Chains A and B, each alone.
Chain A
Amino acid sequence: MSATSDMASTSSTGARDRWKLRIPARNRTSKAASVVFLGSVLLAVFLLVLLLSVLIYRGWDWLSLDLFTEQASFTNAVGSGFQAGVLGTLLVVTTAGMMSLILGVGTAIFLEEYAPKGRFTLLLQTNISNLSGVPSVVYGLLGLALFAEILNIGRVVLAGALTLGLLILPIVIIASQEAIRNVELGQRQAAYAVGATRWQVVRFHVLPGALPGILTGTILAVSRAIGETAPLLVVGASTFLLFNPTGFFSQYTAMPVQIYQWTSRPQAEFADLAAAGIIVLMAILLTMNGFAIYFRQKLGKNRW
């Protein structure tokens, strides 16, 4: 009661002209803001659900094991699969992921733990940030020139893998740097204070602490690589291939390339087959993300 009268007296004794509280109006604005944000979430979810429903509606009947066991047909959609694409994608993407993980974590450790904070490091950092924004087709051209032509390994699995590896390298570096930076300073200091060398600090404290973040970042980057089509087309993934890749120096195709090829065919059945292909691609992608979440939870709970 007294509080209310105090509040009333504050606003009545001459303070009225200096304070315009407008509490109901401020609350209305606050409410309106929350509605706007809820709206943007709902719109995003709606579009996603719409996309998925269209895909499932068109592709569901075409989902069959044939997709994994058969090769692509260009005349008859029924019974056609894309085994070469599935295997090609798995091979290319795991190789790219491994490469970017090793190079990326190494780079991130150097930048965060070893590099002196100077102009050179800043230049490096800026370049890495910029590289993560370069269109993927540019990486395709780089891969074509560097790997396929100059190193002369041809338009093979390895060239595609190296290209995609480069494409996601900046993402892996930035995610790893973030994870490394999030390891508490107190942990580093404690380790140094008992006489650990820099490497012992990195190996036993920084890396284990950063590992969940590094793995999550890498798997999300690989998820991006799995859907990339343009750089693979440039660097020589075949759109017409009826045999599985046999190794790093084999010709290859990939799932998105095959899906792209199907959508460009005139027959409507091929478009539906492409929808089924996309469902498979997304299922693989979600599985990988699931692994990422599992690893993060597992490592986050009992580190060591």
Chain B
Amino acid sequence: MATETRAEQKAINAGMASQIKESQGFDSVDSVITIRNLDVFYGSFHAVSDINIDVPKNKITAFIGPSGCGKSTVIRCINRMNDLVPTARVEGSIIYHGTEVNSSRIDPVEVRRHIGMVFQKPNPFPKSIYENVAWGARINGFKGNMDEHVEQCLRKAALWDEVDDKLKDSGMTLSGGQQQRLCIARALATEPDVILLDEPASALDPISTLKIEELLRELERNYTIVIVTHNMQQAARVSDQTVFFSLNDQRQGVLVESGATKKIFTNPDDHRTEDYVTGRFG
């Protein structure tokens, strides 16, 4: 019985393997973000413990793991969004291009311009499509041709052809998938080099999800991408590197294993990773 299940899982793994993205080796490429010994507390609650991650340049890194294991908490440390949570305390080091981000001497406003973010629920501003993209650039003092800039960002987000005749319409009138691509265009408008996506497709239908995934692969050429996802197939399809989180005995989020996506999904070192990616747990 047990061996049969084992065999079935092997088969599933093999089936999934065909979907797993082929990536060139990137062990030696420079990492854009280096996270070392990261601990996050909410009040007295120790949410995640001792996280170490290297995010390679122009690659897609996926954070996977069961609910409540700190994936979102960690991704929100990278652009200092946890500063907005009054009780949050972040300890450890996050080096971005050689600069320590997790320091009171660094202004989070400066960080966020370089490290853009897209959220789980599409949240366009209740403004026009044009203004959704232009606003972030304008408040950061963009001095170039705004019309061109907006068009460029919308093109990069694969949305231009669907909205070029209604830029003045409210961003709220778009479909969920279009709204999420508008949010990606908005994130691109400040010319970041890293884009964080916190479960960007979990509120979308399968077709819209696929479009977002295609878009991410397109963006990967010029941007470093970190994506949190609940959907393992998604992680397998789009990411080059996968980071698996889980909970330890004290219910703290910990990093179990990280590495090339292909390895994590076909030949993980840790049995907890294997249990999770084969669907036996989580």
Contacts and interface: CB of A to CB of B under 8 A. Distances in A.
Contact of B186 (A184, A186, A190, A200): A190
A194 B136 contact: yes
A44 interface: no
Contact of B112 (A188, A195, A302): A195
Contact of B125 (A190, A192, A197): A190
Contact of A192 (B112, B170, B190): B112
A74 interface: no
Interface residues of B, number: 30
A194 B126 contact: no
Contacts of B125: 187, 190-191, 205
A194 B119 contact: no
Interface in A92-128: 116-117
A192 B127 contact: no
Contact of B187 (A186, A191, A194, A303): A194
A184 to B, nearest CB: 7
A195 B139 contact: yes
B112 A209 contact: no
A129 interface: no
B86 A116 contact: yes
B44 to A, nearest CB: 16
Interface residues of A, number: 22
Contact of B183 (A190, A192, A304): A190
Contact of A193 (B117, B127, B139): B117
Interface in A123-174: none
B190 A190 contact: no
Contacts of A187: 123, 125-126
B207 interface: no
B42 to A, nearest CB: 13
A297 interface: no
Secondary structure of the A contact surface, majority rule: helix
B121 A186 contact: yes
B41 interface: no
A193 B109 contact: no
Contacts of B127: 303-304
Identify the interface centre among B84, B124, B140, B170: most chain A CB within 10 Å of its CB: B84
B123 A303 contact: no
Given A195-B113, A195-B140, A196-B109, A190 B123 contact: yes
B231 to A, nearest CB: 21
A121 to B, nearest CB: 10
A117 B126 contact: no
A189 interface: yes
B116 A193 contact: yes
Nearest to A193: B117
Interface in B97-124: 108-110, 112-113, 116-117, 119, 121, 123-124
A291 interface: no
Contact of B84 (A192, A197, A204, A209): A192
A198 B248 CA distance: 36
B199 interface: no
A197 B86 CA distance: 16
B86 A193 contact: no
Interface in A258-279: none
Contacts of B189: 194
Contact of A194 (B108, B112, B131, B170): B112
B135 interface: yes
Contact of A195 (B110, B128, B131): B110
B190 A195 contact: yes
Contacts of A204: 135, 139
A303 to B, nearest CB: 5
Contact of A190 (B86, B119, B131, B139): B119
A200 to B, nearest CB: 5
A191 B139 CA distance: 10
Contacts of A190: 119, 123-125, 183, 186
B99 to A, nearest CB: 16
A188 B123 CA distance: 10
A206 to B, nearest CB: 12
B34 interface: no
Given A189-B81, A189-B119, A205-B125, A194 B86 contact: no
The 4 nearest A-B residue pairs measured at CB: A194-B136, A186-B123, A195-B113, A193-B117
Given A187-B123, A205-B125, 18 more contacts: A117-B86, A186-B119, A189-B84, A189-B119, A190-B183, A193-B79, A193-B116, A193-B187, A194-B113, A194-B116, A194-B139, A194-B140, A194-B187, A194-B190, A195-B109, A195-B136, A195-B140, A303-B126
Interface of B: 79, 81, 84, 86, 108-110, 112-113, 116-117, 119, 121, 123-128, 131, 135-136, 139-140, 170, 183, 186-187, 189-190
